[in-house]
Structure 1
């Protein structure tokens, strides 16, 4: 059975982690599927005081989607979204503005920009920047690319010839993400 992209990037669900009383995804994410439509930063209409009121018959998107904390074993327990103020997800943008938005890890702050200045956020970001997947941070107002680093990202986007020490890295990013620039 082929693995889905989220499992390939984050890994399978971590066996001893469950959502518990965390409902951040139900309140934060935009959902646009035939079964459920919900704007970003809007509480799902099916979310009640004890969680999902239609859990037994919830839409497929709710059955299949899990945040990065549920999938990435390297993320500490304290990184659960309702505890850390950070929601990690793999995002797919249908009409990306640049090659790094098509498929990317997004770390959303639920509590504003200041959370990104803390040691826990820095550790989380570093841990997610260890593969060839773009990583963005989003503070609710502004989205910033943090991986690849600026120099590499600018070379990938501009098409300019990279210096010798960055040639292999820039070529790898272009090979993997060039399809989104077409």
Structure 2
């Protein structure tokens, strides 16, 4: 995304979610999903921050682009990392920004009214939305939500919505990809 669209004055602060959650395959750095980056120090953050790989310099989670989300939506605080989704976008949603709401904290966040309202707003406005939960060293399984919950949102069926989100999260956890590993300088 265009970095000129970043929310003015918003910084990552102490959030290090991308340093753990992302898969990075860069000539300067290989990192598996859900595994702490080798350059991440508990006390000092990124130990190579000034000289970090281009992939790291160029990456921003979607929270950095969304002025309607407050500081409580910073991934390490909310327990949700919003990322762009590029694959598995159903027909009728092509050309729209697709969002993956990846649970990186407590699973109960999906029943939080703030989360439900934000997710519902994106779905009602036609953004293709996914839910996922990661497991270390495994590719996440994204569950497309729009067709599962749009009618529940429109009918204000909160119990049905929470149950469907719970089922979607369980499906994502159950269907993670095969274990990934690094071999000969590549992620396999």
Q: TM-score, normalised by structure 1?
A: 0.67
Unaligned runs of 5+ in 2: 136-140, 151-188
> Residue 120 of structure 1: CA displacement?
1.7
Aligned to 1:39: 32
What SS does the aligned partner of 2:5 have? coil
Paired with 1:151 and 1:110, the residues of 2 have a C-alpha distance of: 21
Aligned match of 1:73 in 61, 64, 67? 67
Aligned-residue Cα RMSD (Å) equals 2.9
Paired with 1:14 and 1:89, the residues of 2 have a C-alpha distance of: 16
Deviations 1:55-91 (A, max 9, x none): 1111111111101111111112110111100000113
Contact 1:7–1:71 under 8 Å retained in 2: no
Aligned match of 2:112 in 99, 118, 127? 118
Moved over 4 A (4+): 96-103
Contact 1:27–1:44 under 8 Å retained in 2: yes
Contact 1:112–1:140 under 8 Å retained in 2: no
Q: TM-score, normalised by structure 2?
A: 0.65
1:61 paired to 2:52: no
Aligned to 1:25: 18
Unaligned runs of 5+ in 1: 1-5, 153-182
User: Which structure has the higher relative contact order (CA within 8 Å, separation 6+)?
Assistant: 2
